[in-house]
Amino acid sequence: MAHLGVERGYSEATLRAYGQDLLQFETHLLDRRKNPNKPGTHSRDDVRGYLAELHRRGVKRSSVARKLASLRGYYRFLIRRDIVKANPCAGVSNPRQDVRHPKVLNVDQALGLVDVSHEPDPRALRDMALVELLYGSGLRISEAVGLDLNDVDLGQGLARVVGKGRKQRLAPLTKASVERLRRYLLHRGAFSPIVQEQAFFLGLRGARLNRREANRIVAKLAAQAGIAQRISPHMLRHSFGTHMLQSGADLRSVQELLGHARLSTTQRYTHLDLARIVQVYDQSHPLAGKRDKQDRS
C-alpha cells in the first residue's frame, strides 16, 4: 500500500478500495484454510474460487473486475521483489462488463444549474464558483477541492490540476468561471481560514472543503434549479465532455481537457451524440415515418 500511495501516486479513495479488496481475498483464503502469508502457494483456482464467490454474492461486474485488478497488481508487486515466481491471476479473464453510458444533464439543465443563484453571501459565492468550475472545466470533484490558491491563475484563465496518479494538467477556465472565482476569493476570508491553509475552496470550519460537503452543495443547487433527478459532481464532468463533443470538439482535445489516460474512456461520451443524430433523422427524414409504420404493420 505504501508503494501504491508514494511511488504510484494513487488517491486515498483508491488505496482504501485496493486495501479492502486484498482483505476480502485474505478472508476467502482463510475460510478455505489457505495461508494468506504464503503467496507462493496460491493458485489460479484460489483466484477463480474467489471470483465465483463474489458472483454468488451478487457483486457488480465492474467491482469484480477492480478486485481482480487489485490481485493482479499485488502479485506483480511480489514477483518484482522475488517473493513469488508466478502470478496466479494469469489466464483469469475479466468478467464481461455491462455497457453503461454516463448519465448527463441536457444543456438547459446544466445552464440552469450554474445560474441558479446570484446571492452575494460568501457561501453562495463559493458554491456557484464550484459548480461553474466543475461544469465549465470538466474537473473531477477531487481535482476541484484539491486546488490550492497558487494553482489558479485568473489572469491567464488557467488552473493547474492534479488528476489521477498525480498527473498534472492545465485546465482552461471560462470567463464566467474566472469572474465567479474572483468574486469568491474576495470573500474567502469570511470562512476564517485556519493558519497557513492554502486550499482554494474552504469549508465552514476554515479548512479545505471536503468531497462529502461538495457533493451536498451540488445536490442542493440542483434541487434549487428544479432538477428532479439526483445530481452528482461527476455528472457535471460527464455533461462537460458530452456537450463539448456535441458542439464539435474533437475527441483528442476532449481527452486532454478531461485528463483521460486512454482515448477509449473519452469515447463513452460519443454515443449520446449518435443518439441525437438518430433522433433528428427519425424526426426529419421523410422515409423514417414510413419505415416505422411499415415495421408496426
Q: Is residue 123 part of a domain?
A: yes
Instruction: Name the residue among 146, 8, 174, 161 with its Cα closest to residue 76.
Output: 8
Q: What 3-state class would DSSP assign to 11?
A: coil
134 and 71 part of one domain: no
DSSP class of residue 5 equals: I
* Mean pLDDT along residues 31-37: 90
224 and 113 part of one domain: yes
Q: What 3-state class would DSSP assign to 237?
A: helix
Residue pair 274/291 in contact by the 8 Å Cβ criterion: no
Tell me, yes or no, if 234 is annotated catalytic: yes
Q: Is residue 258 part of a domain?
A: no
The whole-number pLDDT of residue 182 equals 95
Which tens digits make up the pLDDT trace of 161-219? 888 777 788 888 888 899 999 999 999 999 999 999 999 999 999 999 999 999 999 99
Strand (E) positions, the chain?
152-153, 158-162, 168-172
pTM of the model: 0.64
Res. 292 pLDDT band, cuts 50 70 90: very low
128 and 67 part of one domain: no
Q: Which residue in the list 66, 103, 183, 234 is annotated as catalytic?
A: 234
Q: How far apart, in whole angstroms, are the C-alpha atoms of residue 126 and residue 104?
A: 23
CATH number at residue 212: 1.10.443.10
Q: Which residue in the list 66, 183, 260, 268 is annotated as catalytic?
A: 260
Residue pair 178/167 in contact by the 8 Å Cβ criterion: no
Domain boundary among 200, 229, 258: 229
Q: Which residue has the higher pLDDT, 10 or 140?
A: 140
Which tens digits make up the pLDDT trace of 230-276? 888 888 988 888 888 777 777 777 777 887 767 766 666 666 555 66
Residue 189, domain extent: 109-229
222 and 168 part of one domain: yes
Grid-cell match 466543475, residue found:
134
Q: Which residue in the list 164, 169, 211, 268 is annotated as catalytic?
A: 164
225 and 126 part of one domain: yes
The amino acid that residue 102 corresponds to is P
**Given a cut of 50, is residue 147 above it in pLDDT?**
yes
Residue pair 39/83 in contact by the 8 Å Cβ criterion: yes
221 and 133 part of one domain: yes
CA atoms within 13 A on the CB side of 200: 27
73 and 166 part of one domain: no
DSSP class of residue 236 equals: H
The amino acid that residue 145 corresponds to is V
Residue pair 32/53 in contact by the 8 Å Cβ criterion: no
Kindly list the distances between the CA atom of residue 176 and the CA atoms of 69, 104, 136, 262, 287, in Å, as whole numbers in the listed order: 41, 21, 8, 30, 44
Tell me, yes or no, if 237 is annotated catalytic: yes
Q: Which residue in the list 180, 188, 237, 243 is annotated as catalytic?
A: 237
Q: Is residue 256 part of a domain?
A: no
Q: Which residue in the list 42, 126, 140, 243 is annotated as catalytic?
A: 140
The whole-number pLDDT of residue 99 equals 55
Tell me, yes or no, if 56 is annotated catalytic: no
Domain boundary among 61, 80, 99: 80
H helices of the chain, in order, are: 2, 12-31, 44-56, 61-80, 107-114, 122-137, 141-145, 175-186, 211-224, 233-246, 251-258, 263-266, 270-284, 286-296
Q: Which residue has the higher pLDDT, 235 or 282?
A: 235
When divided into structural domains, the chain yields a total of 2
53 and 159 part of one domain: no
141 and 222 part of one domain: yes
35 and 121 part of one domain: no
Q: How far apart, in whole angstroms, are the C-alpha atoms of residue 147 and residue 175?
A: 19
Tell me, yes or no, if 164 is annotated catalytic: yes
Q: How far apart, in whole angstroms, are the C-alpha atoms of residue 7 and residue 215?
A: 29
User: Which residues are within 8 A (CB) of 72 and not within 5 positions of it... i.e. 6 or more apart?
Assistant: 87, 89
Domain boundary among 229, 250, 273: 229
CATH number at residue 14: 1.10.150
Instruction: Name the residue among 14, 1, 3, 2 with its Cα closest to residue 163.
Output: 14
The amino acid that residue 293 corresponds to is K
116 and 191 part of one domain: yes
Q: Is residue 285 part of a domain?
A: no
115 and 216 part of one domain: yes
User: Which residues are within 8 A (CB) of 52 and not within 5 positions of it... i.e. 6 or more apart?
Assistant: none
Cell of 9: 501516486
Distance from the first to the final alpha carbon of the chain: 62
